[in-house]
Amino acid sequence: MADSLDSLDSRSAGRQLQVETHGLDVIGNAERKGTPRTLFWPWFGANVSILGLSYGAFALGFGISFWQALAAGVIGIVFSFLLCGFIAVAGKRGSAPTMVLSRAAYGVRGNRLPSVISWMLTVGWETVLTALATMATATVFGRLGWGGGTETKVVALILVGALIVVGGVMGFDLIMRLQTVITVVTAVLTVVYIALVADHIHWHTVSSVPAGSAQEFIGALVFMMTGFGLGWVNAAADYSRYLPRSSSSRGVIGWTTFGASVAPLLLLVFGLLLAGSSEDLSQAIAIDPIGALTTILPTWFLVPFAVVAVLGLVGGAVLDIYSSGLALLSAGLRVPRYLAALVDGVLMMAGSVYIVFFTDNFLGQFIGFLTTLGVPVAAWCGIMLADLAMRRRDYDEGDLFRPGGRYGDVPLQPLLLTLAATALGWGLVTNSAASWLEWQGYLLGPFGLGGKTGAWAYANLGVLLALALGFLGTLALGRGRVRAQERQDPSPAASQEVVGA
């Protein structure tokens, strides 16, 4: 528990909670405190959700064996969160939100393109998590005979949504405290859940699941990447920005990666064992990822399960709504941060209503959402990582907010590279379960990969291609631009008039 007390962080412990006033501005020296170790708590709390168990069924759904799914999960989870760790280094080097630091690569107003994409991704994630928490609550109440119908879903949606919106509006201090509580409570109850359902695992059934093709393995690997780390890269520096700039870069990378990865890895293993033991359970998870897990629980643990499920999902959604508000500001909306979070909360509630009350194919729509936005986010991630790797100095605070500064206004090279990587990426991904995405995969035929029904159709190579093109293209084309930027003298501090540029 000593570490959990440390996680409250000296910025907020012993101080009355209040609405965070920081928006896109750079965090001042007096407020940069703590150590990289404190990053463990928000990242662990955001990823300890029971939803991690459902990823076992998602992975096996690609038609691969237990060992293939385990390898895809381990590689996809660790590698994708390692990308988050690298981008988190930008936070302590620039003390600004992720999508403000991205202006160094994209220009001050050119960065509005990736900011809009980032905003869409985070709003989408918080909507999905809110809907799942609502459906899980209704399922538990239904099993207990306390309702579970429309009225239960409405009340659950309002309560869950209110908790998430309050966390996003209040900001950093409340989030750090909330994540510590969520981490401890959720971790303990998750262990109890695993102990209670362990007898539903049948290794002989799991081990007999046939192996899939290399293409199916790659498809599962990409899904794991987009479902975990690539869903967070665009927010990875939002919490490390409060650390002193003298903080260890290795520590930032290590604690971010470890904190984010450890729970999903453990949950994935158990989820694979459960889903591999029962085809019925695996199919039920595709419809109701959290609620299906209650069907193998004793009745007396249903209420604690609802608590652990809702808290875990709320932990991720709170981080998402906080970062989505920052992304919306970076996209050009000129309002205080807490109002941006409130706007996102309204959209989140509207989207959750659609998922909870009007859709009956969660998994297909979910994979389509992750893959479609995963392509441009992967391109942005590659560009951001390459730009960060080439820099030898900290970011210039003032010029991050000046269209006429060293980072430029709308530089064409990163924007064209993003568009090209996205166009190529979308041409190499498919998702037949979402009718609104039938236009994708248009390059699978011309590239000799068997078309939209061939062996490579569901490998989703486009995500990996976009990441590689963004990274390698920036290394090849952007070095001179970065060197020219770093030869300039430091600029004056940013003024209030240009902070929202």
Confirm whether 10 is domain-assigned: yes
Confirm whether 267 is domain-assigned: yes
CB-based contact 331:112 (threshold 8 Å): yes
Per-residue pLDDT of the chain (501 residues; tens, 9 = 90+): 333 324 334 444 445 556 666 667 788 888 888 899 989 988 887 787 778 888 999 999 999 999 999 999 999 999 999 999 999 999 999 988 899 999 999 999 999 999 999 999 888 888 888 888 888 888 888 888 887 788 888 998 998 888 888 877 776 667 667 767 777 787 788 888 888 889 999 999 999 999 999 999 999 999 999 989 998 899 899 889 889 988 999 999 999 999 999 999 999 999 999 999 999 888 888 777 877 888 888 888 888 888 878 877 887 888 788 888 888 888 888 888 878 888 888 999 998 888 888 876 666 677 777 778 889 999 999 999 999 999 999 899 889 999 999 999 999 999 999 999 999 999 999 877 667 788 999 999 999 999 998 989 889 999 999 999 999 999 999 999 999 999 998 877 644 334 444
Tally Cβ neighbours within 10 Å of residue 364.
17
Confirm whether 492 is domain-assigned: no
Confirm whether 305 is domain-assigned: yes
Q: How many angstroms separate the CA atoms of 409 and 14, rounded?
A: 42
Q: How many angstroms separate the CA atoms of 330 and 500, rounded?
A: 7
Q: How many angstroms separate the CA atoms of 53 and 74, rounded?
A: 14
Which residues make Cβ contacts (< 8 Å) with residue 440, sequence separation at least 6?
372, 426, 427, 429, 430, 431
Q: What range does the domain containing 90 cover?
A: 2-486
The CATH number linked to 449 is 1.10.4160.10
* Structure confidence at residue 2 (pLDDT): 34
Q: How many angstroms separate the CA atoms of 8 and 340, rounded?
A: 25
* Structure confidence at residue 11 (pLDDT): 42
CB-based contact 209:62 (threshold 8 Å): no
- Looking at residue 61, the DSSP 8-state letter turns out to be T
Alpha carbon distances (Å) from 1 to 36, 109, 192, 197, 455: 18, 45, 19, 27, 50
Tally Cβ neighbours within 10 Å of residue 159.
14
- Looking at residue 492, the DSSP 8-state letter turns out to be P
Q: How many angstroms separate the CA atoms of 320 and 328, rounded?
A: 12
Q: How many angstroms separate the CA atoms of 301 and 192, rounded?
A: 9
* Structure confidence at residue 489 (pLDDT): 86
Structural tokens at position 448 = 């000799």
* Structure confidence at residue 13 (pLDDT): 44
Confirm whether 58 is domain-assigned: yes
* Structure confidence at residue 22 (pLDDT): 67
Using only the alpha carbons of the chain, give its radius of gyration. Answer: 22
CB-based contact 287:295 (threshold 8 Å): no
Confirm whether 497 is domain-assigned: no
Total of domains in the chain: 1
Confirm whether 95 is domain-assigned: yes
Confirm whether 491 is domain-assigned: no
